[in-house]
Amino acid sequence: MNYRESFIAEPGKRLSLKKIDPGFRGKHKSHHAAESEIESARQKLAELQPVLWAQKQHSLLIVLQGMDAGGKDGTVSHVLGALNPEGVVVTGFKVPTAEEAAHDFLWRVHPHAPARGYMAVFNRSHYEDVLAPRVHGAISESICEQRYKNIREFERLLAENGTQVLKFFLYISPEEQLERFAARLEDPRRNWKISESDYAERPKWDRYMAAYEDAISATSVKHAPWYVIPSNHKWFRNLAVSQIIAETMRDLKLAYPEPTVVLKDIRRKYHEAVRKAERKKRA
């Protein structure tokens, strides 16, 4: 199955989330059945990352969006856990601070864009500013449209600087969200994630879905595509996201750079050093 083709929000077309099954799991019936394929995709990521780092011509920005309990933290842990943390920076964006709110909405985001050779992950992102404020009526439709335009221009700027932007909406059902909330209540290791807003936002589910449809439809473009990932099954989410990232990195045609030294001379110096060390050892 080609996950990029199956889950892309096609640029220029209106997205309808009602046509997507958040419980979809492809040909696999269970996590066990998909385990080898998941590990293969993770291995590809682990092989490609050092080439990205060495070549320093491209960077990768991964945007993760979703409802509460949608699996953003889990995706960071299970998909990107295969990577060398030295070359990956994860940034979370919550409610803007007073200082952040006093600037334009992209001010707090741009400094975290990845330098060439790096991968950056946004756990929530600049898209928060066209989602919650719209659902709560804090911004007008005209301001929202202007922000879509600002986002498109911002992501084009990143692309022109060598950054491939990949955006994932981790799509779960309201029933699945409620089950995950219940699991948090019973797990002392995850109790800390519970907040009053989790349940306060649930009655606005349909309004959030409409906001996501509008935002994704307005900002899914070739150089910064959106993918809507069925995420009721966490293992399928991990499989789809990891494969999409790996295939996108492969298409960048990454290659190790040529040596900056004359290898023949370096080999000669190496052999001279070995012979010198052997003579010293015998003396």
* Domain limits, the chain: 3-282
Q: Which of 40, 52, 64, 23 is nearest to 233 (CA)?
A: 23
Tell me the three state secondary structure of residue 177: helix
pLDDT tens, 14-73? 999 999 999 999 999 999 999 999 999 999 999 999 999 999 999 999 999 999 999 999
Q: Which two tokens stand for residue 21?
A: 């099954």
Is CATH 3.40.50.720 the classification given to domain 3-282? no
Q: What are the Cα distances from residue 149, in Å, to 59, 128, 186?
A: 23, 15, 43
The DSSP bridge partners found for residue 92 are: 123
CB atoms within 10 A of CB 264: 8
Distances (CA, A) of 259 to 54, 95, 262: 11, 46, 7
Is the whole-model pTM more than 0.85? yes
How far is it, in rounded angstroms, from Cα 84 to Cα 42?
12
> What is the 8-class DSSP label of residue 28?
-
Asked whether residue 185 carries a pLDDT value surpassing 90, the answer given is: no
- Which residue has 């999409």 as its token pair? 244
pLDDT tens column, 225-278 = 999 999 999 999 999 999 999 999 999 999 999 998 888 888 999 999 999 889
Query: What value does the mean pLDDT take over residues 112-127?
Result: 97
pLDDT at 200 over 90: no
Euclidean distance between CA atoms 115 and 59, whole angstroms: 6
- Give the gyration radius of the chain's Cα atoms: 22
